[in-house]
Each structure stands twice: as structure tokens, then as C-alpha cells.
Amino acid sequence: MIRDIADIRRDYEGGILDESRVPANPFELFEEWFSLAVDTDPDDANAMTLSTVDSQGLPHARIVLLKGIAEQGFEFYTNYHSGKGGELANVPHVALVFWWPKLSRQIRIEGDVEMVSEEASDAYFASRPRGSQLGAWISNQSVIIPDRAWLEERKHRFEQVYEGQEIPRPVHWGGYRVLPEMIEFWQGQPSRLHDRIRYQKRDESWETSRLAP
């Protein structure tokens, strides 16, 4: 018998998040929290929910991996022809969510998206394991395929094509950078009286506010 979903709950506990003591730049706080998340859960600390909107205004969400913080933005890599790639081409504005349950911490980010340079995409692609490089060629991401055998056949074909060679980055694969306009830090607290600090971009500076839980 499935447990009653309404009975699934936990109490949260964490250090106090005080708006009078946070840094002026949210990237400093993000890097502090992210560093602790990596120490706590090194395998999944960079997993984040990426939410996009399609041309009909319908939302879509999936988990992707943060792969860099540069030029005041958060970077991830994917197939430009995928579902999310098409959505980003139409509506270049996204929301990100990081959730670290062991720390009772969440970070929400909203902002515009731009493609990273080809040089940056080349450099990251070259750093990937060979199997992941091949995967970028093998998979027509988000396209309907007949079965697993179709995927395995393409895998075998591309292994033969690039046997003994360096694998180049496909032109349809590369990086995006999210340029945040809002970053919210959430620290879980007992009795659902959580700490929430929001940074809002105002020209070249950031304005901070405490939000009710």
C-alpha cells in the first residue's frame, strides 16, 4: 500500500540567514553555498532544474548540470536542436533551481540567456570524456526514435567514424550562460519559518530584501 502522500513531511533546520550580514554581491554567497554543497554531496551538487517557456507560453522543466560560473553568469551545455534549445531560441529567459536537501538549502535564479562563445564551447567539449563527446554526435536529442537498437547502431557507427581520432565538437552542441536578474537564497528553518533573501538586479548593483517564508 502506498504511503499517504500528505503524511510525508520533514522539519528543516539550518543556520540563520541574516540580510544584514550577506555580501553585497550574490555571486559571493552562491560560491560559499555551492562550495559547501560540493563538500556535502559531491556527485550532485551541480544538478539544477532548468525551466523554459515554449512559443505557446507553456513551461517545461528538466535537470541539467551547472558547468561554470563566468562573466557574472551560470553556464550549462546542451544540444542546440533539443527541445530546450528551441525554447531558448524563442524565449531566451529561464529559471534555475538548486536544491541541496542535506543542507536544507535552495537557490532560485531567474534571468536572460545567451550562448557562450564557440571558443568556450570548444574548450569545454575537449574536456569531456570520450564517451560523452561521442554521445553529442549519437543523440538527436528530444527526437522520437524507434527503439534502443537505433541508438546502439548509431553508437557503433560513430565509434567507427572517429576510431583513433580526436572527436570535434558538433556545431549543434554548445553552451548557454544565464545572466541573472534575480537570485533568491532559501535556508530551511523549523516550523516552516524559513529564511529567504532575494537579490534583485538594479542597473549595475544588487538590491537585497527579506521575504516572508
Q: Which residues are catalytic?
A: 192
Contact 174, 115 (CB under 8 A): yes
CA dihedral (21, 193, 13, 102) positive or negative: negative
Cα 43–chain centre separation: 14
- SS3 for 190? helix
Q: Which secondary-structure segment (H or E) carries 153?
A: helix 148-161
Judge contact between 108 and 198, C-beta under 8 A: no
Q: Determine contact, residues 183/48, Cβ cutoff 8 Å.
A: no
Q: b/e per residue, 30-52, with b = 16+ CB within 10 A?
A: beebbeebeeeeeeebbbbebbb
User: What totals of helices (H) and strands (E) does the chain contain, helices first?
Assistant: 5, 9
